[in-house]
């Protein structure tokens, strides 16, 4: 969840590290810090609670002289509060390190090495620094290998030793790290956004390997301290820096909402062959769709809600059990899956630790795994049997928007291909399904073009402490994501309920202080949903109604209506998603909150 960057080479390190940290800040933004190897080999630490902007101010005041190597960190607090002392880097003797992940046995290590009186911070990371310093007697590889044998948990570290000027060491266990050797020096980071201003070629640091960065070379070692025979595959970034900039938009989230139609085209069109979904270029064989007797979808957060929509689409057509699990629960519920189950893993980042652990468990159970992932080369993508990449480009805002839409697009295509190969759809039905999927792109554009009207809807939310989202069937599945979006960036308590369930308790919470966002796009339950809306209206709720253009609605039903284009009922999620994202966005903007970096959150959840 933290951002990591390291640089050694001919250029000035502070500029590279601080710019890199600005790009990585979306990974964690409680505190930030840098460690710089100065010309006299002394390592200068500057670390502060707060945003990178704050750190930059301190760096301007404190740095004098040149530095050509250093490491930098943005923190998402796990152990210990948000303080300068708990910010990274941590120093212990000659060792200075930054850490992403959790050292689960830090308490035992503290006792074993009798560190209690030496620790300045409350972090597990400083314990690792102290232990490493105890183990260090001039041979970094030897000390790091000894440290690793003592640690439980997930981690990536970047380490400098005061008597090894110009060298940066790193080790990875689960938590992601990418590295590059460029004509302007060697670099390492927790993700690509920090590297792409300097290079498009990179490699993923293999787990349980140590890398040593020197100004013109990145060496990779096995844990037995020998050079690795198989240098990791060099990969090429398939997006440019523009994709990671705001490009005139006030926030990444608004930019990413606008990027959805293109992201949809990029995800769908390369997989259309003669009007049918075709995954042969992705190397995904039809046999995995033919042979399974159940589908288990596993993910977290927004990705899991995309899975809920997929289940509602797939199960009625495929007529096999489709289940959706929260990854962090799946791991501990002794799942009933085996080699006849197809496990679909969904993750934007491809690094979410619970989702990754669920994937590994699915493999242990013998299931075939298919990952729907956005980040190329991520751990989940590499470890799955098959991967269907979504092509959303980098998603920087913590609130997921375009990643959700393209996850849905990929899942709809999987559903269609499965129905075709299992004989549930004729070719004509599959072609028609795909054509309906493509029709949602202009429908999303139409909704996004109504953003000023949607901003007006949002103005009715800003003084509320609770907002409910209701719908039935697919509309309920979309509501879950709408509620998550609103709560995570506006801090308004928002929940989604199946509209028919309200009378079983939740309606007690409805009053004239509670806006209800009602979604009614499903013809077969339309009348029932309208009755449920009347029930909350009768209790004073302010009703925001989302319906199709052609819906017949009594004027007295809703306080405000948002009409979406008349796409087929199975596809209304796409324009509705854009509308719900914009409601959340403008609510957060109107409350003057930090839209892209909401409190307590981080983009990539790499700790359990
Ligand atoms: O990278 P992933 O798709 O695995 O991330 C899963 C969730 O952490 C993520 O969707 C989260 O819920 C978003 N902040 C929601 O906007």
Q: Side by side, which strands form the sheet with 43-49?
A: 43-49, 31-38, 67-75, 3-8, 185-189, 178-182, 201-204, 235-236
Tell me, what's the pLDDT at 286? 97
**603 classed as catalytic:** yes
**DSSP one-letter code for 599:** T
List the one residue out of 252, 93, 239 whose CA is nearest residue 161.
Answer: 93
**DSSP one-letter code for 504:** G
Contact 523, 546 (CB under 8 A): no
In this prediction, residue 302 has a pLDDT band, given cuts at 50, 70 and 90, of very high
**37 classed as catalytic:** no
Q: Answer yes or no: is pLDDT of 331 > 80.
A: yes
Tell which one of 76, 257, 303, 389 to mutate to probe ligand 1, the residue whose CB is within 8 A of the most ligand atoms. Answer: 303
In this prediction, residue 71 has a pLDDT band, given cuts at 50, 70 and 90, of very high
Tell which one of 190, 302, 373 to mutate to probe ligand 1, the residue whose CB is within 8 A of the most ligand atoms. Answer: 302
**What confidence tens digit (pLDDT) does each residue in 10-32 have?**
999 999 999 999 988 887 788 99
CA of 481 to the centre of ligand 1 (A): 11
List the one residue out of 211, 132, 206 whose CA is nearest residue 173.
Answer: 206
Report which ligand 1 atom has the smallest distance to the Cα of 355. Answer: 4
CA of 256 to the centre of ligand 1 (A): 15
Q: Answer yes or no: is pLDDT of 226 > 70.
A: no
The pLDDT of 270-274, averaged and rounded, is 97
**What confidence tens digit (pLDDT) does each residue in 367-385 have?**
999 999 999 888 999 999 9
CA of 400 to the centre of ligand 1 (A): 6
Q: pTM of the predicted model, to two decimals?
A: 0.88
Of all protein residues, the one whose alpha carbon is nearest to atom 4 of ligand 1 is 347
Q: Ligand 1 site: residues with CB under 6 angstroms?
A: 300-303, 347-349, 352, 355, 398-400, 484, 488, 604-605
Tell which one of 257, 301, 395, 599 to mutate to probe ligand 1, the residue whose CB is within 8 A of the most ligand atoms. Answer: 301
- Out of 2, 37, 145, 416, the active site residue is 2
Q: Answer yes or no: is pLDDT of 229 > 80.
A: no
CA of 399 to the centre of ligand 1 (A): 8
List the one residue out of 378, 308, 297, 305 whose CA is nearest residue 330.
Answer: 297
Average pLDDT in the chain: 94
CA of 603 to the centre of ligand 1 (A): 7
**What confidence tens digit (pLDDT) does each residue in 138-188 have?**
999 999 999 999 999 889 999 999 999 999 999 998 888 999 999 899 999
In this prediction, residue 225 has a pLDDT band, given cuts at 50, 70 and 90, of low
How much of the chain exceeds pLDDT 90, in percent?
84
Tell me, what's the pLDDT at 377? 84
Tell me, what's the pLDDT at 78? 82
List the one residue out of 52, 3, 60 whose CA is nearest residue 32.
Answer: 52
**What confidence tens digit (pLDDT) does each residue in 332-379 have?**
888 888 899 999 999 999 999 999 999 999 999 999 999 999 998 889
């Amino acid at each position: 969840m933290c951002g990591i960057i390291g640089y050694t080479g001919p250029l000035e390190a502070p500029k590279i590290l601080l710019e890199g940290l600005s790009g990585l800040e979306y990974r964690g933004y409680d505190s930030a810090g840098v460690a710089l190897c100065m010309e006299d080999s002394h390592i200068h630490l500057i670390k502060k609670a707060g945003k990178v902007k704050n750190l930059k101010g301190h760096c301007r005041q404190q740095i004098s002289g040149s530095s050509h190597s250093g490491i930098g960190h943005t923190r998402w607090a796990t152990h210990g509060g948000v303080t300068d002392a708990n910010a990274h880097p941590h120093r212990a003797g000659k060792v200075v390190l930054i850490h992403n992940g959790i050292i689960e046995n830090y308490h035992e290590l503290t006792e074993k090495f009798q560190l209690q009186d030496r620790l300045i911070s409350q972090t597990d990371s400083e314990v690792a620094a102290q232990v490493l310093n105890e183990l260090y007697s001039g041979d970094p590889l030897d000390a790091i290998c000894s440290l690793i044998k003592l640690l439980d948990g997930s981690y990536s570290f970047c380490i400098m030793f005061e008597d090894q000027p110009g060298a940066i060491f790193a080790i990875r266990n689960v938590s992601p790290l990418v590295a590059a050797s460029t004509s302007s020096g060697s670099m390492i980071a927790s993700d690509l956004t920090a590297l792409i201003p300097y290079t498009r070629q990179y490699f993923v640091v293999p787990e349980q390997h140590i890398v040593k960065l020197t100004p013109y070379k990145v060496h990779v070692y096995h844990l037995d301290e020998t050079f690795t025979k198989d240098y990791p595959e060099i990969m090429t970034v398939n997006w440019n820096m523009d994709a990671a900039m705001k490009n005139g938009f006030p926030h990444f989230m608004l930019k990413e909402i606008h990027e959805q139609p293109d992201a949809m085209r990029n995800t769908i069109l390369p997989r259309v062959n003669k009007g049918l979904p075709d995954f042969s270029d992705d190397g995904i064989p039809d046999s995995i769709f033919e042979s399974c007797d159940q589908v288990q979808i596993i993910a977290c957060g927004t990705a899991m809600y995309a899975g809920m929509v997929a289940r509602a689409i797939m199960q009625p057509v495929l007529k096999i059990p489709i289940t959706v699990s929260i990854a962090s629960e799946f791991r501990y519920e002794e799942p009933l899956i085996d080699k006849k189950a197809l496990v679909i893993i969904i993750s934007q980042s491809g690094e979410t630790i619970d989702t990754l652990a669920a994937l590994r468990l699915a493999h242990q159970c013998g299931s075939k795994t298919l990952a729907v992932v956005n980040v190329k080369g991520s751990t989940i993508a590499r470890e799955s049997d098959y991967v269907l990449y979504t092509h959303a480009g980098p998603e920087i805002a913590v609130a997921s928007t375009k990643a959700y839409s393209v996850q849905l697009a990929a899942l709809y295509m999987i559903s269609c291909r499965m129905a075709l190969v299992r004989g549930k759809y004729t070719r004509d039905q599959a072609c028609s399904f795909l054509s309906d999927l493509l029709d949602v792109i202009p429908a999303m554009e139409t909704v996004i073009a109504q953003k000023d009207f949607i901003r007006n809807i949002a103005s009715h939310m800003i003084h509320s402490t609770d907002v409910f989202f209701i719908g039935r069937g697919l509309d309920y599945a979309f509501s879950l994501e709408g509620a998550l979006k609103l709560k995570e960036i506006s801090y308004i308590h928002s929940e989604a309920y199946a509209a028919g369930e309200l009378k079983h308790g939740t309606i007690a919470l409805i009053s004239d202080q509670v806006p209800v966002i009602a979604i009614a796009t499903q013809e077969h339950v339309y009348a029932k949903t309208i009755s449920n809306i009347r029930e909350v209206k009768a209790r004073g709720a302010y009703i925001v109604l989302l319906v199709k253009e052609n819906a017949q609605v009594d004027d007295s039903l809703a306080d405000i209506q948002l009409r979406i284009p008349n796409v087929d009922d199975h596809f209304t999620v796409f324009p509705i998603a854009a509308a719900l994202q914009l409601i959340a966005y403008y609510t957060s903007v109107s409350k003057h909150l930090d839209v892209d970096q909401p409190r307590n959150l981080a983009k990539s959840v790499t700790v359990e």
